[in-house]
Amino acid sequence: MNKIIAVIHREYVGHVRSKGFFIGTLLAPVFMSAMILLPGLLATMSTGEQWTISVIDHSGRIFPPLQVALSDTLKNGQPTFLLRNIPVAPDRWEGIKASLNDQVTQRTLSAYLVIGPDILSTGEAQLYAANVGDFTTLERIEGALDRIVVELRLNNEGLDAERIGQLTRGIDLKTLKVGRTGEKESGFGQMFQTTFLFVFFLYMTILLYGVTVMRGVIGDKSSRIVEILLSSLKPSQLMAGKILGVGCVGLTQYLIWIAFGLILTTVGAAYLGLGSIVRMIPPATFFYFILFYLLGYFLYATLYAGIGAICTNEQEAQQSQFPVIALLIVPLLLITMIIKNPDGIPSTVLSLIPFFAPMLMFLRINVAAPPAGQILASIALLLATIVGMIWAVSRIFRVGILMYGKKPSLPEVLRWIRER
């Protein structure tokens, strides 16, 4: 046991002190948060530029209410939209249009809006601009036009637009998740985002640390350090020490991330608006997250240890690990199906398959808690599979760890497992 602990200490200290661990643990959450939050934040931000728009209103009814509707102001108090009404006779339109195009091209005019005489029946208008990528501003203009046209149509029919708006006002359907601890408000968007984020973290860390085990075995094997190590301990002890040591590194990283998240939400919830999201996540989610990480890690790290033992370099390992990566990717492809029907027969069966269970059973627990019997069955099947894989891979490890040169074929590997 002391020899295994020594290997665990060597692996743990070596990885925790590395620059990669520091970057992954401290900078990765910041980077991922920025990748998630910044695009949406930047997309909703105004460019801060003033739009000068010439309006050619052939209907003669849209420009006055449009000027009122687009009365937004910039931070400096200046109007966001400067609208100019340009009356144009039909026989002069082509010449005016060419002049307006020149102004737009030379940036003396932001855009010009052409409203046809029959806009109330066709609902069509054209906006000519050099920049059509500022979708926030374009949606603002389109929304104003839409409301004006609808109101004019209703007025033409002798209907009160305001009264109709009140009668046709939509409902605000709130969704509440019912669980064993009671009811809790939970919107689909928040539930999907948090669930996907947790499952993605499971996928990335199981894959990352499984590959770390594989590379560690290949590194020791290629540098011949393994021959020195095996002079004082058994191959199974070396494999166990590597798997447990790297697993502790991953667990440490998770605990740091959880502590970082709790501190961030405690201090900055009022400013970042994260309070409702954090309150929506029950404490049991973190427990199952750690549990299924450990189970998934031990299962896949054992497989990766076996791959490292039969390969002599990174190139061979990259080719050999494809089946293992495929087993990890399949659950990601099934996320939408599981979320839509977490209690269906396909979801239940797939979440009990040991190689899919770490992500799919956790996914089901987070969406709609399955019966306790299914959770326990999934854990029991995972444990049994881990024990079986450890037995099989340890037989591969004891032979392959000291073999160099050509990678063994599948029949050879199976023979190693059968040999006593």
CA distance 42 to 46: 8
- pLDDT score recorded for residue 187: 47
pLDDT of residue 378: 93
| Rounded distance between C-alpha atoms, residue 302 and residue 354, angstroms | 14
* pLDDT at residue 266 in the model: 59
What is the pLDDT at residue 178?
61
Distance between CA 251 and CA 260 in Å, rounded?
Answer: 14
Q: Tell me what pLDDT residue 193 has.
A: 67
Q: Where are the domains of the chain?
A: 51-167, 186-418
pTM metric for this prediction: 0.64
pLDDT value at position 54?
A: 92
Q: Which pLDDT score, from 0 to 100, does residue 184 have?
A: 52
pLDDT of residue 293: 87
- Which class is domain 51-167? alpha beta
HEC profile of the chain? CHHHHHHHHHHHHHHHCCHHHHHHHHHHHHHHHHHHHHHHHHHHCCCCCCEEEEEEECCCCCHHHHHHHCCCECCCCCECEEEEECCCCHHHHHHHHHHHHHHHHCCCCCEEEEECCCHHHHCCEEEEECCCCCHHHHHHHHHHHHHHHHHHHHHHCCCCHHHHHHHCCCCCCCCEEEECCEEEECCHHHHHHHHHHHHHHHHHHHHHHHHHHHHHHHHHHHCCHHHHHCCCCCHHHHHHHHHHHHHHHHHHHHHHHHHHHHHHHHHHHHHHCCHHHHHHCCHHHHHHHHHHHHHHHHHHHHHHHHHHHHCCCHHHHHHHCHHHHHHHHHHHHCHHHHHHCCCCHHHHHHHHCCCCHHHHHHHHHHHCCCCHHHHHHHHHHHHHHHHHHHHHHHHHHHHHCCCCCCCCCHHHHHHHHHCC
Predicted local distance difference test score (pLDDT) of residue 401: 72
Residue ranges, the chain, pLDDT below 50: 183, 185-188, 268-272, 274-276
CA distances from 24 to 137, 195, 204 (A): 38, 21, 11
